[in-house]
Every structure is written in C-alpha cells, then in structure tokens.
Amino acid sequence: DLWRFDRSFWYLVGLCVTFYSVIFPFRSTFSIKYFQHAHGVTLQEAGALNGYVFLAAIVATPIFGLLADRAGHRAAFMAFGCFLLAAAFPILAYTDANLWVSTVLIGIAFSLIPAVIWPAAAYLVEPHRLGTAYGLMVMVQAIGLTAINVVAGALNDANGASAENPGGYTPMLWLFLVLSLFGFVFAFALRMRETSREGRG
C-alpha cells in the first residue's frame, strides 16, 4: 500500500518534508541564536521575533484555508508560500533589512502552506487509505526534521558560526534556501500534474 500512492501524493510528501525541514529547524532551533549573533538583537527581542511567526499563524492559517477553499489552486498557493520562504534567507544573509521583513515572509509561509498541504492529501488519496497517507507524511517529515537539524548544526560548527564570526551562519542559510526552492519545485510539479489529464484538477 505504501508504494501504490499516486505520484501527486509523493510530490505533496516532498513538499511537506522540505517545507517543515526549513520552518522548524530554523525557527525552533537556530533562529534565536542567529538573530543575536548576526543581527545584534537581545535574547528577548529574538524570542519575540520568533514567537510572532507562530502567533500570526493563529489568525492567518484559517483565513488562508478559507481562501484556498473558495479559490482552489492549492498547488499554486503552496508554490507561492515556498517562494516567500526562500526569499527570506538571502534577505537575512546579505542585507541589513529589518528582521521584521524576514519574519513577515516566514510568517505568511508558515500560515499559508499548512492551511493547504494537509487538506490537499484528502483530495489525492482514497478515503480508506487516508490515515496511512497522513502517517507516512508525518513519518517522512520527522525524518527530515531530524536530519536537517543535524546537518545545519554541523554546518555551523564547521564554519565557526558565532557572535565573533556571524558569517559562519551563511552556509546554514543557504541550506534552508535550497530546501525552500526544492519545496517550490515539488509544488510546481504537483500543479503541473494535477492540471494535466492524469490529475484531478
């Protein structure tokens, strides 16, 4: 049963693992120290910036879910969210823009993609296999979270990332940028398939 899922579902799984492998490792593990070391904010300011991403999701996620239900085009919504997520990392790495710019971009992505990705599975999988599908998505997501936390930490260690060497965080930011772009590719592939003759529209 695990290998007889439709190709569109596997695109959704790919998007799920890449998206969450960016959001949670960065925002939950690395962002507070990165904000302090690379952008000179206090622990309290870094914590507030981090928390507002999740606070915004309380309000924005139901709104984006309603919008997706009304407008459709779910894969396009997810591709747009991945694009916003990817845009946040060059801004962090190479500009002096206010940290609220990246926080808003990541906050929109974190509200938009989950509002669409989890209901989308129900459109792609037969009802009698939906529990298996969700279980598989969460399992692969957890594998990605584990692996990327380890890889990002190893990159920071290898490049001497610290308050004295904030440039050492740049490879980690590139890792998250590349993962975000892979998420965009999966969302685009999902849209192409689902608007083809093989898809469900």
| pLDDT tens, the chain, 201 aa long | 667 888 889 999 999 999 999 999 998 889 999 999 999 999 999 998 888 888 888 888 889 889 888 888 888 889 999 999 999 999 999 998 888 888 888 988 988 898 899 998 888 888 888 999 999 999 999 999 999 999 999 999 999 999 999 999 999 999 999 999 999 999 999 988 888 877 666
d(CA 52, CA 24): 14
Is residue 83 within 8 A of residue 184, CB to CB? The reply is: yes
d(CA 61, CA 58): 6
pTM, entire model: 0.90
Residue 45 CB partners (closer than 8 Å, separation 6+):
35
Is residue 148 within 8 A of residue 175, CB to CB? The reply is: yes
d(CA 55, CA 92): 21
Is residue 175 within 8 A of residue 155, CB to CB? The reply is: yes
